[in-house]
Amino acid sequence: MKKATKVLALILAMAMMACTLVACGSSADTTATNTEAAATETADTEAAATETADTEAAAETEDAAADTEEAAPAEGGTITFGTNAEFPPFEYVTANGVIGEYDGIDMALAKQIAEENGMTAAIENIEFDSLLVALQNGQIDAVIAGMTVTDERKEAVDFSIPYYTATQVMIVKEDSDIAKAADMADKKICVVQGYTGEVCVNEMGYPYEAFKKGTEAVMELVNGKCDVVVIDSATAAKYVADNEGLKIVEDPDAFASEEYAIAVKKGNTELLDKINKVVEAKLADGTIADLAVQYSEATVEE
C-alpha cells in the first residue's frame, strides 16, 4: 500500500475510534460539547497517525507490506487475531489458556474458527484503541475483542455476524444510591478508554475519568476514588464476582443493547466468509452460549 493511502487509512481508523457512536441515550444539549471533543481528539490522533505511518514506512519495505496486506490466510496457514486481553470473560491472560496464555470466550471461538478452516490461531495482544489500526495496516488478520459493532467502526472495517449481545451497566458500591444513569450526574464516573462505555458517558455529557484497563477503573471504585464504573455487562459481572462490596445497576432506557462481532479489514470477504461460516454454526449448535456460561463461571487466575 502506498504511504499516502496508509496514512489516510490510519487517520480514518483512529477518527472512527475517537467519535464512535453507539446506541445509548444522547440528548440534544450535549451535542456541541461532544462535537468539540471529537474534533480535538481527531486532530490529536491525526498527528499520531502520521507519526506511526512514518515509522512504519521506514521499518518495512513496500514489497513486504504489499505481500502481507493482500494475502488472506489460506488452508494450513495462520489467522492472526488481534485482541486486548483485559476483558474477562471474553479474553484474559492466564497460565494455561486455550491459545497459549490467552483464554476466554473469544479465544475459544478464535481457535475454533481457525481450526475448522484447517488453520492455526495466533493472538496479538494489543491496546484496545490500536486494534482497528493494526487491522488496517496488516499487522493482524482479524479483531476478536468483545468489540461492539457501531456505525462508525463499520465505516472503517467489515464485521462478521454478531455472536454476543451485551449492554453497558454501572458498577457501584453496594451502599450506593445510584439507581439509574441520570443519578451519575453529580458523581465521579470511571470508564475505560476507547470502550463504548466511554462513548455513552460522553454522549450523556457527564465528566469522567478514563483508564487504560477495566481493572484499574474497578480498583478506583473499590478504593473509593470514584463512584461508578460504566462497562459491558458480562465483564462487569466478572468484576463484581471477584471484588467484595460491589453491585451492578442496570438502566436499559439509557443503555441500549450492543452486539459483539469479529472485524476484518474492509473488503476481505474471503476471510470474513471463513469466519462467518464457523460463527453461524457455533451459534446454531449452542457452542457459543455454552462457552459464555463456562467462562462466566470460571475463575480468572492471572
Instruction: Closer to ligand ARG by CB, 195 or 206: give it.
Output: 195
Q: Which residues, other chains included, contact 200 with Cβ-Cβ below 8 Å and sequence gap of 6+?
A: 22, 24, 25, 168, 230, 254, 255
Size of the site for ligand ARG (CB under 6 A): 13
The arrangement of strands across the sheet holding 142-143 comes to 120-125, 78-83, 142-143, 263-265, 157-159
Output phi, psi for 86, to 5 deg. -130, 35
Question: Using CA atoms, how far apart are residues 121 and 107, in angstroms rounded to an integer?
Answer: 9
- Site membership for ligand ARG, residue 203 (CB under 6 A): no
The answer to whether residues 123 and 110 touch, using CB atoms and an 8 Å cutoff, is yes
Instruction: Closer to ligand ARG by CB, 6 or 265: give it.
Output: 265
- Site membership for ligand ARG, residue 86 (CB under 6 A): yes
- Site membership for ligand ARG, residue 52 (CB under 6 A): no
**C-alpha cell of 246?**
460491589
Would you call 277 exposed, middle or buried from its count of C-beta atoms within 10 A (0-12, 13-18, 19+)? middle
**CA-to-CA separations, 162 to 150, 259, 275, in angstroms, rounded:** 11, 6, 11
Q: Which of 83, 94, 202, 268 binds ligand ARG (CB under 6 A)?
A: 83
Cell 479465544 belongs to residue: 107
Q: Rounded to the nearest whole angstrom, what is the least distance from the CB of residue 128 to ligand ARG in the complex?
A: 4
**CA-to-CA separations, 62 to 1, 54, 58, in angstroms, rounded:** 7, 13, 10
- Other beta carbons within 10 angstroms of residue 117's beta carbon come to 21
Site for ligand ARG in 87-116 (CB under 6 A): 87, 91
Contact segment (CB under 6 A) with ligand ARG among 5-13, 53-61, 145-153, 239-247 equals: 145-153
Q: Rounded to the nearest whole angstrom, what is the least distance from the CB of residue 23 to ligand ARG in the complex?
A: 12
Question: Using CA atoms, how far apart are residues 189 and 217, in angstroms rounded to an integer?
Answer: 9
Instruction: Closer to ligand ARG by CB, 148 or 268: give it.
Output: 148
- Site membership for ligand ARG, residue 146 (CB under 6 A): yes
Contact segment (CB under 6 A) with ligand ARG among 32-40, 46-54, 79-87, 292-300 equals: 79-87
Site for ligand ARG in 53-72 (CB under 6 A): none
Name residue 73's amino acid: P
**C-alpha cell of 300?**
480468572
Q: Which of 81, 92, 102, 128 binds ligand ARG (CB under 6 A)?
A: 128
Instruction: Closer to ligand ARG by CB, 222 or 231: give it.
Output: 231
Site for ligand ARG in 215-234 (CB under 6 A): 232
Q: Mask 168-187, x = binds ligand ARG (CB under 6 A)?
A: --------------------
Contact segment (CB under 6 A) with ligand ARG among 60-68, 69-77, 78-86, 174-182 equals: 78-86
- DSSP one-letter code for 73: P
**C-alpha cell of 4?**
499516502
Q: Which of 145, 190, 191, 278 binds ligand ARG (CB under 6 A)?
A: 145
Instruction: Closer to ligand ARG by CB, 128 or 159: give it.
Output: 128
Residues forming contacts to ligand ARG in the complex (CB under 6 A) are: 83-84, 86-87, 91, 128, 145-148, 195-196, 232
